[in-house]
Amino acid sequence: MSQYQHSDQALSDDECLRYSRHLLLKDLGEAGQLKLKHAQVLVIGMGGLGAPASLYLAAAGIGRLVLADFDEVDSSNLQRQVLYREDDIGQPKVQAAKQHLQGLNANIQVRAVNRKMDEMLLAMEVAQAEVVLDCSDNIATRYAVNQACVKAKVPLVSGAAVAFDGQLMVFDFRKAEQGCYHCLFPNASEQQLNCSNAGILGPVVGTIGSLQALETIKLIANIPSAQVGRFSSFDAHSLEWFHLKVNADLTCPVCGTNKETV
Amino acid sequence: MINIEFNGQIQSHGTPLNIEQLLAFHQQALEGIAVVLNGNIVTRSEWANTLLNDHAKVRVFRAIAGG
């Protein structure tokens, strides 16, 4: 165990050195760094989004990272999932990720959930997290994660990317009537495009995953963000962003007045 | 006659129409889409009630699942 984990109220000299570029930021400072240190963050999906997001979160000193995935590293992942190495092929992603992230920052705790989470496990993991990152690759998981975050009132940083398109959404469910993923896309299906059937350029997922880490850090450190309650679409051809405020749908079965199990 | 912009293309319509009718006119697949009218998202429950004015700009975004 590292010496750093013994101190909860202040940063050690080594931590001050390590995070000195954070401490220089007036919006973050030592108080913000301590918040990062004491935070638990759940990353769901350790592919093209989860890889860069978790690298930045580990480097930033998020105290406890929980990584959930049930996939194994494949050679076709290495083109964009920059956390993994050729030696990892065939290994569970979360196991390889944990090893690399602990190598990057031994002062944080990384826990791997190497299984498909059922509703109960998902609810339990979400409830323990300060922020949840949806880095998944399918609609069913996106709906399940959104619903669990709404129920537990845990902020959700949702990213998606395919081909040359990226999407980023931040929902702070600690606040009332924020709207949710289901309000925005009420009837999506698995027919939607994904990386396996439409392709993906590595830096596109890298861009969105990095922004998910950025928004997570801001949520934890209480740094105001324009992205809360906003849907943003990124066009990697033009590098243009299109931003939209998400309106709460009062008839939404997940977060609206007609709540039911969906 | 009213002109409505749909995903960047302007189209003339002889009769007033709502969002649901506009999507049908353009044979837009309805799964996993968000509809934006003049810069604001219109929730699905409001599509049939939202009548489009002349020069309305409608844009459709599709959910993507990849990660």
pLDDT digits (tens, 9 = 90+) for B11-67: 999 999 999 999 999 999 999 999 999 988 998 889 999 999 999 999 999 999 999
Buried b / exposed e over A231-251, threshold 16 CB at 10 Å, is: bbbbebeeeeeeebebbbbee
Q: How far is CA A99 from the centre of its chain?
A: 19
Q: Which amino acid is at A176?
A: A
Contact B66 A48 (CB under 8 A): yes
Contact A47 B43 (CB under 8 A): no
Q: Count of residues for chain B?
A: 67
Q: Which among B32, B36, B45 has the least Cβ separation from residue A189?
A: B32
Contact B41 A247 (CB under 8 A): yes
User: Is A23 strand, coil or helix?
Assistant: helix
Show pLDDT as tens, one digit a residue, over chain A (262 residues): 444 444 578 999 999 999 999 999 999 999 999 999 999 999 999 999 999 999 999 999 999 999 999 999 999 999 999 999 999 999 999 999 999 999 999 999 999 999 999 999 999 999 999 999 999 999 999 999 999 999 999 999 999 999 999 999 999 999 987 899 999 999 888 765 666 778 999 999 999 999 999 999 999 999 999 999 999 999 999 999 999 999 888 889 999 865 654 4
Chain A: residue nearest B31 by CA?
A188
Q: How far is CA A145 from the centre of its chain?
A: 11
Query: Any idea where the domains of chain B sit in the sequence?
Result: 2-62
Q: Residues near A123 by Cβ (< 8 Å), separated by ≥ 6?
A: A148, A151, A152
Looking at CATH, the fold of the domain delimited by B2-62 is given as Ubiquitin-like (UB roll) (3.10.20)
SS3 content of chain B, % helix, strand, coil (to 5): 15, 40, 45
Per the CB < 8 A criterion, the answer to whether A192 and B32 are in contact is yes
pLDDT value of residue A258: 58
Residue B32: list chain A partners with CB under 8 A: 139, 185, 187-189, 191-192
Residue B34: list chain A partners with CB under 8 A: 184-185, 231, 244
Contact B44 A186 (CB under 8 A): yes
Report the DSSP pairing between strands A165-171 and A230-235.
Answer: antiparallel
* Nearest-neighbour CA in chain A from B55: distance (Å): 20
Query: Any idea where the domains of chain A sit in the sequence?
Result: 13-245
pLDDT value of residue A191: 62
Asked: is A13-245 a CATH 3.40.50.970 domain? The reply is: no
End-to-end CA distance of chain A: 43
Q: Is A195 a catalytic residue?
A: yes
Nearest CA to A69 out of A39, A106, A42 is that of A42
In the Cβ-directed half-sphere of B55, how many Cα atoms lie within 13 Å? 0
